[in-house]
Amino acid sequence: MEEKFLLNNDDRERESATFLESSRRSQAIWADLPKNPQKYRVLTGERPTGPLHIGHLFGTLSNRVKIQELGATTFIVIADYQVLTDRDSADAVGTNVHEVILDYLAAGLDPENGRTFFFSHSHVPELNQLLLPFMNLVTTAELDRNPTVKEEIRAAGLKQVNALMYTYPIHQAADILFCKGNVVPVGRDQLPHLELTRKIARRFNDRFSPENPVFPVPDALLSDIPLVLGTDGQKMSKSRGNTIMIRMTPEETAKVLKGAKTDADRNITYDPVNRPEVANLLRLISICTGEAPEAVAAAIGDGGGGRLKAALTEALNAYLAPMRERRARHAKDPGYVKDVLRRGVARAREEAVATLEQVRKAMNMDHGLH
Ligand code: TRP
């Protein structure tokens, strides 16, 4: 791999500084959101690379539902172009978009409330066109030092880096700014992209519309839920087989959890440092039942890994039951899923057309046509 794509100490230092500052701003927004939900335009989303699992559910989806319930308008981008950054085949994208929408509906995101919209960015040409003016505001050196891009290049084992992988953080800025999103609920790994989005917004405003800023400078909204690990104690990911998908049956869930990693000590205690796998399973029970992980551990006592896994299976299946029921109902009606997407795309396009018009005007490219 080219050396410039290896993570170095400067990258790491910048990353922690960004994290600290973003956390501070995120806390202030969490405090204000319930009081002033109408101030916030929320934009977030993911790449449609497969059905969503409980890592997504507890890490981001439940947060989105919470924000939706507070009354903020929420746009969710299904970033289908971005799927191709680290793989060649688009074969599964169609199915995955459908599956992801079912997972959103299952989790409780509600496109019938008039405030929640799902769209695929491939269907919003005016959003994609923002890429051109935005590319002009970013240097190649800035793209070179994006730690998340570097990590993805490493994880995918890429020998060559295609220009989409290199530039997708600019595309992500277009995803956020096309609708003037000012709050972006994301995990820590997405903060470098958000930093770039903030720079693009500021630079565009400074250069082309200093009197009357076109774009807000968006903030990340971080979740305080600790990272959920896979059943083997490693990062949760489909390719490792260590995940529980929202769409699994209770039996499939029980089977995966039977294989979960624990340790040799039969006495169950909550000790995240010395017993990370056991602690992860306890935390999952705690998320589902609302009981503190220490109390869950005490109740299991010396019942061992078997009792722990049985308790988790029961708690998780009960927690997921209403979501799975909703998912199954919508899965029987593909026409509805399509309709939800069609409406989301239509609404996103309205926003994108209006923003692009403003952008052209600010850049002296309206040519008297609007
Ligand atoms: N890069 C994000 C991910 O891999 C997905 C994404 C695309 C996104 N556009 C976005 C997230 C805009 C937040 C805002 O998960």
> Closest residue (by CA) to atom 6 of ligand 1?
46
Q: Judge if the beta carbon of residue 176 lies within 6 A of ligand 1.
A: yes
Q: Judge if the beta carbon of residue 186 lies within 6 A of ligand 1.
A: yes
Instruction: Note whether 319 and 174 are same-domain residues.
Output: no
> Closest residue (by CA) to atom 5 of ligand 1?
46
Q: Is residue 324 part of a domain?
A: yes
Instruction: Note whether 212 and 242 are same-domain residues.
Output: no
Instruction: Note whether 107 and 88 are same-domain residues.
Output: yes
The values of phi and psi at residue 83, to 5°, are -60, -35
pLDDT of residue 179: 98
47, 118, 178: residue to mutate for ligand 1 pocket, most atoms within 8 A of CB: 47
pLDDT of residue 1: 65
Instruction: Note whether 170 and 310 are same-domain residues.
Output: no
86, 193, 237, 238: residue to mutate for ligand 1 pocket, most atoms within 8 A of CB: 193
> Closest residue (by CA) to atom 13 of ligand 1?
44
Shortest-distance atom of ligand 1 to CA 187: 15
CATH number at residue 74: 3.40.50.620
Q: Judge if the beta carbon of residue 152 lies within 6 A of ligand 1.
A: no
Q: Judge if the beta carbon of residue 146 lies within 6 A of ligand 1.
A: no
Q: Is residue 114 part of a domain?
A: yes
* Residue 119 token pair: 């769209």
What's the pLDDT tens digit per position in 160-179?
A: 999 999 999 999 999 999 99
State the distance from the centre of ligand 1 to the C-alpha of 249, rounded, in angstroms: 28
Instruction: Note whether 137 and 280 are same-domain residues.
Output: no
Instruction: Note whether 201 and 342 are same-domain residues.
Output: yes
Q: Judge if the beta carbon of residue 148 lies within 6 A of ligand 1.
A: no
The values of phi and psi at residue 350, to 5°, are -55, -45
Q: Is residue 370 part of a domain?
A: no
Burial of 228 (C-beta count, 10 Å sphere; 0-12/13-18/19+): buried
Q: Is residue 367 part of a domain?
A: no
Ranges of the chain with pLDDT below 70: 1
Instruction: Note whether 175 and 104 are same-domain residues.
Output: yes
Q: Is residue 230 part of a domain?
A: no
Instruction: Note whether 102 and 211 are same-domain residues.
Output: yes
State the distance from the centre of ligand 1 to the C-alpha of 262, rounded, in angstroms: 33
> Closest residue (by CA) to atom 15 of ligand 1?
46
Pairing of strands 219-221, 73-78: unpaired
pLDDT of residue 226: 75
CATH number at residue 267: 1.10.240.10
pLDDT of residue 228: 87
Q: Is residue 119 part of a domain?
A: yes
* Tally of domains within the chain: 2
Q: Is residue 311 part of a domain?
A: yes
Q: Is residue 216 part of a domain?
A: yes
190, 200, 222, 238: residue to mutate for ligand 1 pocket, most atoms within 8 A of CB: 190
Instruction: Note whether 160 and 60 are same-domain residues.
Output: yes
State the distance from the centre of ligand 1 to the C-alpha of 77, rounded, in angstroms: 8
Instruction: Note whether 344 and 284 are same-domain residues.
Output: no
Instruction: Note whether 177 and 291 are same-domain residues.
Output: no
State the distance from the centre of ligand 1 to the C-alpha of 80, rounded, in angstroms: 10
Shortest-distance atom of ligand 1 to CA 185: 13
State the residue range of the domain holding 42. 3-225+333-362
Instruction: Note whether 318 and 270 are same-domain residues.
Output: yes
pLDDT of residue 183: 97
pLDDT of residue 359: 98
